[in-house]
Amino acid sequence: DAGITQSPRHKVTETGTPVTLRCHQTENHRYMYWYRQDPGHGLRLIHYSYGVKDTDKGEVSDGYSVSRSKTEDFLLTLESATSSQTSVYFCAISESWRERNQPQHFGDGTRLSIL
C-alpha cells in the first residue's frame, strides 16, 4: 500500500469554525491531490499540488485553500466551515511527469461533519 496518512480520520465541528485536514506521504511523490466524495457525485477534485509551494484549483475549490511547504505534507483548510462542506475527503498522490501513466493512490479518507 502507498504510504499515505490522512488526519484526522473523523471530525465533527460547527459551522463557521476553521478546519484543517492533513495528508502525509512517505513515497516522495511530486503530485498530491484533495478530493471530496459525495453521494451522486463520485469524487471531485478540490485542489492539487505539483510541487512544494506549487498548487492549483480543481473543480470545486470555492471555500477551500491548500498549502504545501514540504514534499510530504499537503494541507486542506476550510477557513469557515459550512454544512455544504460535510463530506468524505480523500487525499491522493502520483509520481513525476515521467511516471504520469501510473494511477493515483488514495489515502483512507477523512469523514468531516459540519453541524
Partner 1 sequence: ELKVEQNPLFLSMQEGKNYTIYCNYSTTSDRLYWYRQDPGKSLESLFVLLSNGAVKQEGRLMASLDTKARLSTLHITAAVHDLSATYFCAVDMSYGGATNKLIFGTGTLLAVQP
Q: Which residues bind partner 1 (CB under 8 A)?
A: 31, 33, 35, 40-45, 48, 50, 56, 58-59, 90, 94, 97, 100-109
Quick one: which of 44, 38, 37, 48 has its CA closest to 93?
48
Rounded least distance, CB 60 to partner 1, Å: 12
- Closer Cβ to partner 1, 41 or 70, answer by number: 41
Rounded least distance, CB 59 to partner 1, Å: 7
Copy the grid coordinates of residue 12: 465533527
Question: Is the Cβ–Cβ distance between 66 and 49 less than 8 Å?
Answer: yes
Cis peptide before 8, with omega less than 30 degrees from 0? yes
- Closer Cβ to partner 1, 48 or 74, answer by number: 48
Beta bridge partners, 67, equal: 75
Rounded least distance, CB 18 to partner 1, Å: 26
